Amino acid sequence: GADLKERAKMHSSEVSSFVSRARATINELANLPVPTIAAIDGTALGGGLELALACDIRVAASSAKMGLVETKLAIIPGAGGTQRLPRTIGVSLAKELIFSARIVDGEEAKSIGLISHVVKQNEAGDAAYRRALALAKEFLPQGPVAMRVAKLAINQGMEVDLVTGLAIEEACYAQTIPTKDRIEGLLAFKEKRPPRYKGE
pLDDT tens digits for range 145-181: 999 999 999 999 999 999 999 999 999 999 999 999 9
CB 54 within 8 A of CB 30: yes
Shared domain check, 84 and 33? yes
**Rounded distance, CA 28 to CA 21, Å?**
11
Domain annotation covers residue 68: yes
Query: Among residues 140, 156, 180, which one ends one of the domains?
Result: 140
Same domain, yes or no: 75 and 166: no
Mean pLDDT of the chain: 93
Are residue 154 and residue 173 in the same domain, yes or no? yes
Q: What is the structure's pLDDT at 13? A: 72
For residue 61, the SS3 value is strand
Residues 57 and 134 in one domain: yes
Per the domain annotation, does 197 fall within a domain?
no
The Cα 76–Cα 174 span in angstroms is: 41
**Residues of the domain holding 167:** 144-191
Residues 152 and 176 in one domain: yes
Residue 196 maps to a domain: no
Structure confidence at residue 25 as a pLDDT band (50, 70, 90): very high
Indicate if the pLDDT at residue 17 is higher than 90: no
Assess whether pLDDT exceeds 80 at residue 6.
no
How many structural domains comprise the chain? 2
What lies within 8 Å, CB to CB, of 171 at 6+ separation is none
Residues 109 and 60 in one domain: yes
What contacts 15, CB < 8 A, 6 or more positions away?
7
Is 157 part of a structural domain of the chain?
yes
Domain termination residue (choose one: 109, 125, 140): 140
**Range 12-37 average pLDDT:** 88
- Give the pLDDT score at 16: 78
Residue 200 domain-assigned? Answer: no
pLDDT score for 111: 97
CATH code for the domain in which residue 135 is found: 3.90.226.10
Determine the pLDDT at residue 82: 96
- Residues 121, 156: one domain? no
Catalytic annotation, residues: 2, 47, 50, 70
Is residue 8's pLDDT more than 80? no
pLDDT at residue 2 tops 90:
no
Q: What is the pLDDT of residue 57?
A: 97
Task: Choose among 58, 94, 54, 56: nearest CA to 76.
Answer: 94
pLDDT in tens, 70-124: 999 999 998 999 999 999 999 999 999 999 999 999 999 999 999 999 999 999 9
Residue 54: inside a domain: yes
**Band of pLDDT at residue 19, cut at 50, 70 and 90:** confident
User: Are residue 166 and residue 75 in the same domain, yes or no?
Assistant: no
- What is the layout of strands, in order, in the sheet containing 37-40? 37-40, 57-61, 117-119
Q: What is the pLDDT of residue 12?
A: 72
Per the domain annotation, does 198 fall within a domain? Answer: no
What are phi and psi for residue 5, nearest 5 degrees? -65, -40
Same domain, 105 and 42: yes
